[in-house]
Amino acid sequence: MTRTGTPEPRHEPPRVADRLLEWFVAPHLLEALQGDLHEEFAYQVDLIGTRRARWRYWRDVLGFVRPFAIRRKQADYPYLNFTDMLRNYVKIAFRHLWKSKEYATINVVGLGAAFCISVFLFLTAYLQLTYDSFHEDADRIFKVYSFANDPEQPTKTGAMPLPLQPALKAEFPELEAVTRVLTIKNSAEYDGKYLDKIVTAVDPDFLTLFSFPLIKGTRETALSELSSVVLSERMAENIFGRSEPMGKHIRIHSNGQPKEYIVTGIAREAPTNSTIHFDALIRIENLPAYAGSKANWSDNSYPVFVKTAANVDQSALEERFKAFTAKYFPDRQKELKSKGARPDSCGDVFALRLDKLTDIHFDRKSADQKGTPVAVVYVLLGMVAFILLIACINFINLSIARSFKRAREVGVRKSLGALRGELFVQIWGESTLICFFGFALGALLAYLFLPAFNAVFGAKLDLAYALQPGFIGLIIGLFILVTLLAGGYPAWQMAKLNTVEVLKGKVSMKRPGVLRNALIVTQFSLSSLLICCTVVAMQQVNHLQRSPVGFDTEQIISIPVGEQVNGRQVLQRLRNRLANDPAVLTITGAGVNLGRGKDRVMSRSVLGFTYKGRQVSTDMLLVDYDYFKTLNINMLAGRDFSPAYPADSANRIIVTESMAKLIGEKNLVGTLLGDDSDTTGTKSQIIGVVSDFQLYSVADKARPITIHLSATEPIRYVFVRVAPNDLMRSMDRIKQVWREVAPQSEFMGSFLNENVAEWYQNETQLSQIFSLAAGIAILLSFIGLFAVAILVIEQRTKEIGIRKILGSSIFGIVLLLSRDFVKLVLIALAIALPLAGFGLQQWLNNYAVRIELSGWVFAGVGLAAILIALLSVSFQTVKAALANPVKSLRSE
């Protein structure tokens, strides 16, 4: 065998080699290690022995093989045991990782980043999937809803009439508890202090049906009296500080009517994953409208929850509801049948049914609730799997690439007596250390960046959820799985290397290319899928932001009035104080906000009636003068409300274009609108038609709206249009005046464009999460392909040298090496793009206002994936093509 470039003359290498062979080499290898191979072995030993770190090398080699020698030389090493061997494993693993800092750093950082983002995404999905599951016997708690098989469109609503609760308790003994739940925003007063809080009107069964823990008071007696009030822990602290709240009196203002209550219980704050949140609980009989609605089966405004006895079947109970529905809702069934309604698959035209409490959060079919799409949760879990899988693929590829550099070391160790299983444990142990440090780094990053993640995405994640036994078990199982998957395969491949061929320099790993190519295809398929989802989600959000809402959102300030002041008086005071201010153009008021303001309150009033034999449903909107002028809503026909017509506040209405189409009349102005059964002459006259505008969501189609004035209904929001010159200065000016005209009410003004942006907050968050996940996936894919390029070029170094000697150009070599990677990326795109197209089409179908998928998006994603692949491999390919071929061929 001919050698060139030896660093130093040898000093009796056969003597050292012979001694090692005699002591440690397995008997079946002695015959093979002869001649040139013996010389090669001796050369490798002595070459290292001449270096400055000679003693470290022998410490590593002999320290590693010494435990294996126990099998043959136990008498020579009586002090060795399993602990010593394990300690040697750990020491050598640390030394190898320290020598390969770049390899270890890439793997640790990649696994850490993947684990960190996976923790965030998994906790987000976990909170969604566990909504309301903290209640005891949650599987026996249901929300009652009504189903109407309307010929135009089947409807589902959870708003029930007020007398439903006592009727259910009287006729269904298998119901352990029944409660109505109506959440409103009222003002609480104590010792001259006013606080706007969420006050929930309920029945006494509320505290026994739900498992909200009480710190003080008892479930059975806390709401036994009409004057009882249960406060949340936070509200009790806000009102009473550190003093004892039990037994003290507070006032709660409801629609301007104050009533005194006695504190009889303190409840812990509802968890984040709870559908029901409250600051105070009062008896529902205290509502001002209770007396007039307690026998009204047509006023559907009150959600009702029931808890069944053990072993009660849901379907059997719903079957019993049929007779109950026929008894109490005969008019509704007749009305539907008159419209041509037919029974559904369950044989019902109109029916009362039950939704499990744990399913309510995902309910998107109910007219009074738009839950979170469950598909979004599964997408989050899919992202977790994608990112972890990409990180594992990187780990495998980097480990395989590194294995070729350690092939001779493995061969020497096997020739010194190390068995395959022992080599596997040692190499796998190094992978376990990397995984451990990666997971530890990920946990640290999750702890450090959790506040930032919550702030950016509006999340309410808490790492305390990760300390639950189930989550800890999942993390441990995930760690073991990643370690076995990402570290086990490379260790197994390295441990089974052929010793003789390795020491001859002929490294041969069987079928690594198939697995390597499959990993690359999988990696880029997942990355391309995430990129597609990110681009389309961002396009949809931008489309929603640009979609017309039917009114101006710029230069308009929205101010919640609060419950402690009279909205009409405050509105008039603002008009008087700001009448001569050139920065204020118009002022108006309304009963509901547009978008979601700082008070976070959203309310809706729906009226249903029969008009000329047809059922009509419309949203009712209370406004004040100048509403359409302030919001710049177009008047299509008729006139606006005006103080010059006193009757406008009594029985005059304005309808939107969609409402006009629903009524079906050609000339609506002057038409009387009301229920067919109304013979009292109190029908309302239509005086105008305005263009459609969005009242509750920009993602839904425009709803029919009926707008009216009232001299008695409370104004809850004030809208101020200001000049465009200096918006922030105008905000400060209005805030100053507000403190003068409404000193008892906190100023919570916000610009209307900010409120409207909250309508598509979920979509914005989803696109941001997609962007973050896609960015992580692209980065990991880039690193992974870079590792594979190292692996391939390491194997083809001599081929590249021969091609250069035979006249190949650098460009030709780069093209040759890059071509195979581009083919794999094309295969990945062929898999990912159709899947992305199908999934995104289903997601976009949930929106009435949506974009159309464009082929240019998928073409752009494909081009980006190819560019990322070329960029990943170009550095290594160019470096290999520029290398001196003499260096790669001199040992041949």
Tens digit of each residue's pLDDT (9 = 90 or more) over 556-610: 999 988 777 788 889 999 999 998 888 899 999 999 888 888 777 777 777 777 7
The total of other beta-carbon atoms located within 10 Å of residue 534's CB is: 23
* Residue 257 scores a pLDDT above 70: yes
Q: How far apart are CA 590 and CA 710, in angstroms?
A: 10
- Among 773, 777, 783, 778, smallest CA distance to 872 is for 783
Q: Which of 362, 390, 408 is the last residue of a domain?
A: 362
**How confident is the model over 389-433, as pLDDT tens digits?**
888 877 777 776 666 666 666 666 666 666 666 677 777 777 788
Q: Are 800 and 496 in contact (CB under 8 A)?
A: no
Contact 318, 353 (CB under 8 A): yes
The dihedral of CA 846, 850, 855, 860: what is its sign?
Answer: negative
pLDDT band at 73 (very low <50, low <70, confident <90, very high): very low
| 380 close to 770: Cβ distance less than 8 angstroms | no
For residue 841, tell me if it sits in a domain.
no
Residue 545 lies in a domain: no
Model confidence at 72, pLDDT cuts 50, 70, 90, reads very low
Tell me, yes or no, whether 100 lies in a domain.
Answer: no
Q: Give the Å distances, CA to CA, from 769 to 248, 254, 387, 602, 780.
A: 47, 41, 13, 26, 17
Q: What would the pLDDT profile of 794-819 be if each residue is shown by its tens digit?
A: 667 777 778 878 877 777 877 877 88
31 occurs within a structural domain: no
Name 842's Cβ contacts closer than 8 Å, sequence gap at least 6.
Answer: 375
Our count of domains for the chain comes to 2
Residue 249 lies in a domain: yes
Name the pTM for this structure.
Answer: 0.71
Q: Is the pLDDT of residue 166 over 90?
A: yes
Q: In which domain, by residue range, is 637 found?
A: 563-745
The answer to the question of residue 618 being in a domain is yes
Give the rounded distance of the alpha carbon of 865 from its chain centre: 25
Asked if residue 286 belongs to a domain, the reply is yes
Segment 329-355, tens digit of pLDDT: 888 888 788 777 788 888 888 899 999
Element (H or E) spanning 108, and its range?
helix 101-129
Q: Which of 703, 723, 745 is the last residue of a domain?
A: 745
Please measure the distance between the N-terminal and C-terminal CA atoms of the chain and give it in whole angstroms: 9
* Integer angstrom CA distances of residue 580 from 238, 624, 736, 755: 39, 20, 16, 27
Amino acid of residue 600: R
In a domain, residue 613? The reply is: yes
Residue that terminates a domain, selected from 305, 337, 362: 362
